[in-house]
Amino acid sequence: MQKQYDIYIVGLGGQGVLTIGDLLAQAGLAKDIPVNFYPRKGMSQRGGFVQGQLRFGSSNVGASIPRKGADLVVSMERSEALKCAGYCKPGCDFLLYDDVWVTTDVIAKREKYPELDDVKAEIKTAGANLYCLSSEHLPVVNGVPARANMFILGALLSNTSLKELFTLDEIISALQNFMPKNLESNIAAVKAGYECALKAE
Partner 1 sequence: MKRMMISGNEAVAYAALHAGAKVISGYPGTPSSEVIGSLMKKPPFEGTHIEWSTNEKVAIEVAATCAWAGKRALCTMKMSGLNVAYDSMIGIAHSGVIGGLVVYVADDPGTTSGMCEQDSRGFALMSDMVMLEPGSVAETYDMVKYAFDLSEKIQEPVFVRSVTVVAQSHAVVDVEDRTMPDPSVPVVKKDVNKYAKAGAAMCMAQHQNCIDNLKKGAEIIEKDGLNKLHLGKKGGIGIISVSSVKPYVEEGLNIAESMGWKREDVSTLEAICTIPFPDNEIRKLLEHCGTIVVAEELEPYMERQVCILAFQTGAKVRVVGKLDGTLSRIGAYNALNVAKGVMAAANLPFDESIMTAGDDVAAKSLPRPITTCAGCPHRGTYLAINKAIRNAKLKKDEVIVTGDIGCTILGMNPPFNTVWMEISMGASIPCAHGFYFAGVDKPIFATIGDSTFIHNGMPGLVNAVQHNTNITVIIMDNGWTAMTGMQVNPNTASEFQREGDVNVDLVELVQHMGVKHFYVTDPYDLDGMTAVLDECLTIKGLKVVIARRECAIQAGRRKVKYAKMHVDENLCINCNVCINTTGCSALIPGEKNVHIDPNACNGCSLCSQVCPKKAIIKEEI
Look at strands 88-97 and 144-145 and give their pairing.
unpaired
How many binding residues for partner 1 (CB under 8 A)? 53
User: Which CB sits closer to partner 1, 57 or 139?
Assistant: 57
- Of 31-70, binders to partner 1 (CB under 8 A) are 34-40, 42-43, 45-49, 59-69
The span from the CA of 192 to the CA of 201, in Å, is 21
Cβ proximity of 57 and 2 under 8 Å: yes
Cβ proximity of 152 and 24 under 8 Å: no
CB of 137 to partner 1, least distance (A): 21
Q: Return phi, psi of residue 68, to 5°.
A: 55, 30
Task: Read off the DSSP letter of residue 13.
Answer: T
- Of 79-118, binders to partner 1 (CB under 8 A) are 79-88, 102-108, 111, 113-114, 118
User: Which CB sits closer to ligand SF4, 47 or 86?
Assistant: 47
Should residue 43 be labelled a site residue for ligand SF4 when binding is judged by CB under 6 A?
A: no
Cβ proximity of 26 and 166 under 8 Å: no
CB of 83 to ligand SF4, least distance (A): 23
Should residue 135 be labelled a site residue for partner 1 when binding is judged by CB under 8 A?
A: no
Torsion of CA 11, 44, 136, 8, to 10 degrees: 20
Site for ligand SF4, rule CB under 6 A: 45-46
Site for partner 1, rule CB under 8 A: 12, 22, 25-26, 29, 34-40, 42-43, 45-49, 59-69, 79-88, 102-108, 111, 113-114, 118, 122, 126
